[in-house]
Structure 1
C-alpha cells in the first residue's frame, strides 16, 4: 500500500491565509462604511490582507 499523497496546503498555511482573507474583508467593509470609494476599499482590503500574512505566520505557529 502506497503512502497518501502530500496535501496541496498545510493546515498552518490554510489557517494563515483564511485569517488574512477575513482581515482584508473586514478592513474593506469598514473602509466602505466610512464613505470611501469601493476601489479605495478594495485596495485597503488587499493591502491589509497581504500585510497581515507575515505577522499571522509568526503568531500562528
Structure 2
C-alpha cells in the first residue's frame, strides 16, 4: 500500500476534535455532573468540532469540479460597482 490510510488534513481534524471532546468531557465532570453526562457532553463537543474544523482548515489543492474556473473569478459584465448605485 503506497498511500496513507488518512490524509494529513483528516488526521488533524480528528485529532483536534478528540482534544475538544476530551476537554469538554473533563470540564463537565469538574463542574459536578456525573460520568454519563460528561461522556455525552464530550461526544457532542467532538461531533460538532469535526464539522467546525473541517470547514476551518483549508482543503488540499486538487482538481476543481466544473472545469478550469479559478476561485474568485469574476463573470463577464459583473464589474466592481455595477448595479450597486456607485457612480
The TM-score normalised by the length of structure 2 is 0.64
Aligned residue pair count: 58
Higher helix share: 1
Where do 5+ consecutive residues of structure 2 fail to align?
Answer: 59-87
| Structure 1 vs Structure 2 CA RMSD | 1.0
Counterpart of 1:29 in 2: which secondary structure?
helix
Structure 2 residue aligned with 1:15, among 9, 12, 16?
12
Deviation readout 1:8-43 (Å, 9 max, x if unpaired):
000000000000000000000000001000110000
Counterpart of 1:54 in 2: which secondary structure?
helix
